[in-house]
Structure 1
Amino acid sequence: MKQLYTLIFVFAGFTAVAQQDTSQIHNFNLQQCIDYAYEHQVSVKNAQLDIKKAEYKVKETIGIGLPQIDGTANFQDYLKLPTTLLPGEFVGQPGTFIPVKFGVKYQSTVAFQATQLLFNGTYLVGLKASKTYKELSQRSFTRTQIETNASVTKAYYQVLVNDEQLRLVDANIKEIAQQRNEVTQLNKQGFSEKIDVDRINVQYNNLVTARENTVRSLALAVQLLKFQMGMPVSENLIIKEKIANLNISEAANSNTAMDSTAYHNRIEYGLLETQKKLNELDLKRYKSQYLPTLSAFSNGSYSFQNNFFNNLYGNSFPSLIVGLQLNVPIFSGLQRLNQVRQANVEVLKSINTLNDTKNSINLQVQQARTNFSNSLASYNNQKQNMDLANEVLRVSKIKYQQGVGSSIEVTQAQTQLETAELNYIEALYNALVSRVDLNQALGNIK
């Protein structure tokens, strides 16, 4: 049984390695992650399909103004011909009715009908509206790209921050492992107490646990990044960059001065402008219902009649009609008038929404700029604190080695350093995220 279990485990190991080898490996930087998301993220792909749908909608609307041709065919078999009563006066029998059957047993007709719209105000306005609808879908696609860009960037920064946290934890483990060896040797020589060894072992064990948690958090952050990119979680993603490659203090935009017209760069404002344009076209469409419509038509048919089925299609009786049809609206019970009024209300509402959105975007820009400034100041402060904590730990170690300090001071300095590093990591992520938010608020993400 032991040999059987060994073979199973070996086979499972080979299978896992084979699956890992066959998975695709991606080595990306931030821009490559964003480009990949533009091609594979489901929301982006659906937005592209919406553009296609809008293009087909435009073609559908254009087709209303093209010739419309329909064909029909029918066949009838009169099992019993209808009977009509004629007055007897026709045959010299006044006061009576003579039953007479009209028609033939078999009848068949082949016909076509063609119409061509010559003028229709509603159609002309609808044609413009369909093109504006396409513009709306294109702007929706741009908004989806921007949201995807921001989501991928934040997830990417989370990976970099977790990687930086892992680097700091590894450095601490290396440092405290060296301290543990020194304290252990001093304890063996009688220069330190057993409690000093226990104290530093507790710190070492805590750091090892913290490292395991950080490794799991890093793996989860990579999975989240792949999800935001639309990448299968089974594929391997390697991030090229490190935190050191980023200029955290760089402003989100070279033009950081207060700009009250930043809303023009926001796709949300552009979407509302397009919606307002659609509402205005809808108003024109209802007004155009007061105009007459003109169309041309043509009807043609072949009629076949016979009492014998074999000879039904032997003779045909053609007919052809062409003409014009003019429809003039006169009175609709005030329906059209109230439709125009409702459409006008929608236009006024869209104007109010635009004004409100303009103020909202300006407020968002101010808030994002303030948050970025605060986050950047906090980041710089926490970075300085971490450097100071490193210096305090260095001095404490020297004092302890020279016998003028205690191990408690070293332990406290190490704890303060770990706390400073955690605060630094949090401030680092907040600064990166607030920079993305500021870029998005200013409309710099395209």
Structure 2
Amino acid sequence: MKRILTLIMCLIAAVKGYSQTQPGPQAYNFSIQEAVDYAIAHKDSVVNARLDITSADYRVKEIIGQGLPQISGQATFQDYLKVPTTLLPGEFFGQPAGTFIPVKFGVKYQSNLAASASQLLFDPSYIIGLQSRKTYKELYNRAYTRTKIDVIANVTKAYYQVLVSNEQIKLLDANIAQLKQQVDQTTAQNKQGFVEKIDVDRIAVQYNNLVTNRENTLRLLALNYQLLKFQIGMPIEFNLTLKDKLTDINMDADVAQIAGDTTFYKKRIEYGLLETNLKLSQFDLRRQKAQFLPTLSANASYALSYQNNSFRNLYTTSFPSSYVGLTLNVPIFSGFQRTNRVKQSEITVQKNQNNLNSLKNALGLQAEQAKVVYFNGLQSLNNQKRNQELAREVLRVAKIKYQQGVGSSIEVTQAQTELENADNSYVQSLYDALVSKVDLDKAYGRIQ
């Protein structure tokens, strides 16, 4: 029995010591910029966009490689189990006309070793492909920028959501504290016979509702932290706290200066992407037209042939052969295929140009909408701040009137409810204003 107890104690000590040596979850304390930097380094969509850029580099190298010498080697071996037989006219051997003599040409074992090379000398399609490689890489770089901008906007909004939830909890804590004091005072007055039991019950109901609301908000806050960690690509088991406060955010954006920029659409990555697509379609049109021009390439080959009836002596004697030459390919007629491909490319160029013009108008409309929403959000936020102050003042007066016996508990309850509604409206207006600020910066190309 003692041995069993000793063994159990040793196991407990070992487990405890092991758990103490294991590192706990990593902890981070991020500002908004640090959260954005972490997301750019770890968010899977951004990482994949960077991989696309690397893949595009290899694709460009592949295209360049088409103009470099192409060298290949070949080795063959044949064992003729039955050497082919050819019939020769009998006259060759002094036989009567019309007769044939079977003759076997060749040997049992044959082998060939060959190396060939070709070099592209002139191909307009290849030249145009080289000219477009910079634009091709630009397409993936801008796609990476677009992904990064989306991640920055999403991370910023998620960060703001956590800050707003924390602000909501502060407001709830303040209301709960003052309401708890009111509950205690009303309960004491009820015991002394100054107020009725129903007055205590009314305030208790409000207090319980506030406590429940706070618990629900705490759970939502935890969820908002999880959402923020997801947006920045952080494992959800890591610990994350925030440095920035709501007071650190400048809500007074210089909208007049932003609105004065009439070429803001050129800063939008969506416009840049369509510009790049237009350039690529123009290169493709030139490539299709180049299909009408001839191509020229050089080629060379060197081969060794081995033949023998004995496998052992097969590679003792070789018969070399070699050549160099030029190949000129002149397109003459392809059933109008090249012409139709050119027409299709011309239509693609026109469509991309139309899309670019349409996007310019759409971005202008989006910017105007973002500006209006931002102005409305600021106005609503300022209005809700004033409503908060008024609701607090109404509650203060209602309490004084109730304590002096010239007011009712219903007035106090209604004033408390109005303050809670004002706080909720303020929190919602605060989040809406913060989100509209992000959307405004994005609409005017200020997020890069």
TM-score (norm 2): 0.94
Matching of residue 155 in structure 1 with residue 166 in structure 2 = no
8 Å CA contact 1:260–1:362 kept in 2: the answer is: no
For residues 360-399 of structure 1, the aligned pairs below 5 Å read 360-399=362-401
Matching of residue 61 in structure 1 with residue 63 in structure 2 = yes
8 Å CA contact 1:87–1:94 kept in 2: the answer is: no
Give 2:338's aligned residue: 336
Give 1:192's aligned residue: 195
Q: Which amino acid aligns with 1:434?
A: S
| Partners of 1:159 and 1:253 in 2: CA distance | 26
* Structure 1 residues 251 and 415: alpha-carbon distance in aligned structure 2, compared to 1, 3 A threshold: same
Give 2:426's aligned residue: 424
| Partners of 1:370 and 1:350 in 2: CA distance | 30
- 1:130: Cα distance to partner? 3.3
Gaps of 5+ in 1: 1-6
1:12-68 deviation line (CA, Å, top 9, x unaligned): xx89x9799610011111111100000110100000000000000000000000000
Matching of residue 324 in structure 1 with residue 326 in structure 2 = yes
- 1:257: Cα distance to partner? 2.7
| Partners of 1:163 and 1:123 in 2: CA distance | 60
Aligned equivalent of 2:34, options 29, 32, 35 = 32
| Partners of 1:133 and 1:395 in 2: CA distance | 70
| Partners of 2:42 and 2:386 in 1: CA distance | 41
8 Å CA contact 1:253–1:439 kept in 2: the answer is: no
* Structure 1 residues 20 and 157: alpha-carbon distance in aligned structure 2, compared to 1, 3 A threshold: farther
Q: Which amino acid aligns with 1:125?
A: I
8 Å CA contact 2:73–2:115 kept in 1: the answer is: yes
* Structure 1 residues 313 and 253: alpha-carbon distance in aligned structure 2, compared to 1, 3 A threshold: farther
Matching of residue 139 in structure 1 with residue 120 in structure 2 = no
| Partners of 1:59 and 1:144 in 2: CA distance | 25
Matching of residue 404 in structure 1 with residue 406 in structure 2 = yes
Q: Which amino acid aligns with 1:194?
A: K
SS at match of 2:259: coil
8 Å CA contact 1:252–1:435 kept in 2: the answer is: no
1:361-392 deviation line (CA, Å, top 9, x unaligned): 00000000000001110111011101111111
1:105-126 deviation line (CA, Å, top 9, x unaligned): 1110000110000000111112
| Partners of 1:19 and 1:343 in 2: CA distance | 66
Gaps of 5+ in 2: 1-8
- 1:127: Cα distance to partner? 2.0
Matching of residue 415 in structure 1 with residue 417 in structure 2 = yes
Give 2:116's aligned residue: 113
Q: Which amino acid aligns with 1:329?
A: P
SS at match of 1:255: helix
SS at match of 2:312: helix
| Partners of 1:138 and 1:65 in 2: CA distance | 25
| Partners of 1:53 and 1:253 in 2: CA distance | 40
- 1:252: Cα distance to partner? 6.1
Q: Which amino acid aligns with 1:429?
A: Y
* Mean Cα deviation higher: 251-260 or 363-372: 251-260
- 1:425: Cα distance to partner? 0.6
For residues 17-416 of structure 1, the aligned pairs below 5 Å read 22-95=24-97, 96-248=99-251, 250-251=252-253, 255-416=257-418
SS at match of 1:300: strand
| Partners of 1:57 and 1:331 in 2: CA distance | 31
| Partners of 1:254 and 1:247 in 2: CA distance | 16
| Partners of 2:414 and 2:269 in 1: CA distance | 52
Aligned length: 434
Question: Once superposed, which parts of structure 1, at least 4 consecutive aligned residues long, lie more than 4 Å away?
Answer: 17-21
| Partners of 2:247 and 2:397 in 1: CA distance | 26
8 Å CA contact 1:382–1:423 kept in 2: the answer is: yes
| Partners of 1:292 and 1:263 in 2: CA distance | 43
